[in-house]
Amino acid sequence: MSNEESRQTSAVYDEVVAANAAYTSAFDKGDLALPPARAFAILTCMDARLDPAKYAGLAEGDAHVIRNAGGRASDDAIRSLVISHKLLGTREWFVIHHTDCGMELFDGPTIAGLLETSLTTAEFDGEQWRNTEASGGSKEGWHVAWLAFKGLEQSVRDDVERIRNHPLTPPDIPVHGFVYDVRTGRLLPVG
């Protein structure tokens, strides 16, 4: 069986492929330069309610956008920011977390314990997470830095401080902290 034959498709897969076909039919951005035109980078959450292009007024090629769960200053996020500056010329960085973030709803032991008994999607009843079935699972979750947090503004301050004080961050790079309000779309500065 070929790779093509073994690939499973879904309605979402078909929608993405169709959207890409429509996008490429009028694509005219093939000549954008590799470095971001506006010379800045954003570290933000992967939450689907956040659209950095819209809330920060970006077009393709304007800025680097680094996303992970919580928009946290993980080692990998800092690696990306350093590459963004050192090799691609960004001169300013933004850390943007958001209200109603799922990273405030658990801690490391909670997710590690859930993963130990099941890899299927868990449920949250507003107070506690639980597995819907116990099948499979792995103890590897105990070895992951999940970077969950309590206290939204403090998480922004912590990440801005970690980035500013990282030995690979040049001292002249401004690092700004914000909270994006998912109900209003507003960026709220965090000092």
The CATH number given to whatever domain includes residue 61 is 3.40.1050.10
Pair 160, 74 in one domain? yes
**pLDDT tens digits for range 81-128:** 999 999 999 999 999 999 999 999 999 999 999 999 999 999 999 999
Domain around 70: 40-96+146-189
**pLDDT tens digits for range 34-82:** 999 999 999 999 999 999 999 999 999 999 999 999 999 999 999 999 9
Pair 92, 155 in one domain? yes
Query: Is 102 a domain residue?
Result: no
Query: Is 31 a domain residue?
Result: no
Q: How much is the mean pLDDT over the chain?
A: 95
Q: CA 54, CA 6: separation in Å to the nearest integer?
A: 37
Q: CA 174, CA 172: separation in Å to the nearest integer?
A: 6
Pair 73, 133 in one domain? no
> Which residues are CB-contacts of 34 (< 8 A; sequence separation ≥ 6)?
88
Query: Is 184 a domain residue?
Result: yes
Query: Is 141 a domain residue?
Result: yes
Query: Is 32 a domain residue?
Result: no
pLDDT of 1: 45
Query: Is 15 a domain residue?
Result: no
Evaluate if pTM is beyond 0.85: yes
> Which residues are CB-contacts of 142 (< 8 A; sequence separation ≥ 6)?
112, 116
When divided into structural domains, the chain yields a total of 2
Q: CA 141, CA 52: separation in Å to the nearest integer?
A: 30
Percentage above 70 pLDDT, the chain: 96
| pLDDT of 3 higher than 70 | no
